[in-house]
Structure 1
Amino acid sequence: MKLMAVTDQSHSVRELASKIIQIKNKIDFVQIREKTKTVKEIITLLQHLEEGGVEKEKIFLNDRLDIALLMDIPNVHFPEKGLPVKRVKERFPHLTVGRSVHSFEGAKEAEVEGADYLLYGHCFETNSKRGKAPNGIEPLIEMKKNLSLPVYAIGGIKLDKVNELRELKADGIAVMSGIFSAENPLAAASQFYEVARDEK
């Protein structure tokens, strides 16, 4: 399985850049999901990442098509109620476009629109959605049975959940607090990376 680290809006530009640069060899992708940061801050972050040797192919920008185009980032990710995937793919066919979904119906719609992959959640209880019941894993099972798109699981992904998700044929895991809230992000990312790669 692939590992996508998702930023958690809890760090300054410099801190976040440092953390991503530290973990760059222990993740497949990083999704920059910084809704409270200004355009200038996100551009500065991307410049730090480039200087730190983070490949642009590893970076996904959440809901910022404008910055992706300006900074030559080849991957974008949209929330379920974000920009229409079909229009974006028609206009910018070179981009890889992902969509967040929260149900099998939403996933079917995203596939028809031409999304390249899905991010489904939240699968388990998670602090980032405190008080909100998880959507569970049944929709993920349906997606893997009926759709051809890669599906990443997000939400409450802890190390002890990874094997369960592999058995359900998830293509990847997306981890936010498990990496970016960890005391040692590199150690945390390394553990997730190794478990995700372990095909036992």
Structure 2
Amino acid sequence: MELHAVTNDSLPAEELIKQIIAIASEVDFIHIRERSKTASELVDLVKSLLLEGVPKEKLIINDRVDVALLTNIHRVHLPGHSFSPKELREKFPHLHAGVSVHSIEEGKAAEKNGAEYVIFGHVYDTTCKPGLQARGVQLVKELTSLLSIPVVAIGGVTPERVPELRHVNVKGIAVMSGIFTHHQPRKMAQAFSKQVKENPYEEAL
């Protein structure tokens, strides 16, 4: 399974850079999802991360295709209401794109429109989505069985819930506040990574 860390747009750039550097070796992908920052600030942020040795291949730019192009990052993640990945790759064939979805219908549409993977949520109750009912693991299972592209689960995921998600065939998990609001983000990233990298076949022996 993959571990995706998603920034939560709550930290100043300097602090965010420190946190990303701290967790970079523990996660597979880092989504830069900073909606309140300007394009210029995001470009500077990405350039700083690259200078600090964060692998380019691990960075995914959320929504801001312009920032990805300016910093030569090849992975973007699009909101469900954005343009289609198919249109994007017609103009920029080198870009890889995933899409956020919140229902079976949206998942099917994203696959049809050329998404290489979807992030589906929120799976469990989470403080990030107060008052909104969690979609539940059963719906994740249904989605993974219907789509031929990978599904990544997000929303209220804890290290203890990873085995349950593994059993419904998700490609990975995405964690936002579980890492970036913790006072020890690297420690939490390690806890998630340990569960994600567990070999289920070993457990069964």
CA RMSD of aligned residues (A): 0.9
Q: Which consecutive unaligned segments of at least 5 residues does structure 2 have?
A: 201-205
Contact residue 4 and residue 31 of structure 2 kept, 8 A: yes
1:152 maps to 152
- Structure-2 separation of matches of 1:129 and 1:18: 26
1:36 maps to 36
What's the CA shift for 1:83? 2.0
Which contiguous aligned blocks of 4+ residues in structure 1 show a shift greater than 3 angstroms?
none
- Structure-2 separation of matches of 1:132 and 1:144: 22
Task: Spell out, residue by residue over 1:175-195, the C-alpha distance to the aligned partner (whole angstroms, 9 max, x if none).
Answer: 001100111111100110111
What's the CA shift for 1:65? 0.5
Aligned residues: 200
Task: Spell out, residue by residue over 1:1-37, the C-alpha distance to the aligned partner (whole angstroms, 9 max, x if none).
Answer: 1000000111000100110011110000000000011
1:106 maps to 106
Determine helix, strand or coil for the equivalent of 1:26.
coil
Matches within 5 A, 1:78-89: 78-89=78-89
What's the CA shift for 1:146? 1.8
- Corresponding letter in the other structure for 2:69: L
- Structure-1 separation of matches of 2:130 and 2:42: 27
- Corresponding letter in the other structure for 2:111: E
- Corresponding letter in the other structure for 1:90: E
- Structure-1 separation of matches of 2:51 and 2:69: 19
1:169 maps to 169
1:192 maps to 192
1:115 maps to 115
Determine helix, strand or coil for the equivalent of 1:192.
helix
Please report the TM-score for the alignment, with normalisation by the length of structure 1: 0.97
Equivalent pairs: percent with the same residue?
A: 43
- Corresponding letter in the other structure for 1:126: T
1:97 maps to 97
- Structure-2 separation of matches of 1:89 and 1:137: 32
Q: Which consecutive unaligned segments of at least 5 residues does structure 1 have?
A: none
Determine helix, strand or coil for the equivalent of 1:128.
coil
Task: Spell out, residue by residue over 1:108-163, the C-alpha distance to the aligned partner (whole angstroms, 9 max, x if none).
Answer: 11111111110000000011111111122233212211211111000001111111
Contact residue 43 and residue 70 of structure 2 kept, 8 A: no
Please report the TM-score for the alignment, with normalisation by the length of structure 2: 0.95
Contact residue 5 and residue 175 of structure 2 kept, 8 A: yes
What's the CA shift for 1:44? 1.4
Matches within 5 A, 1:16-95: 16-95=16-95
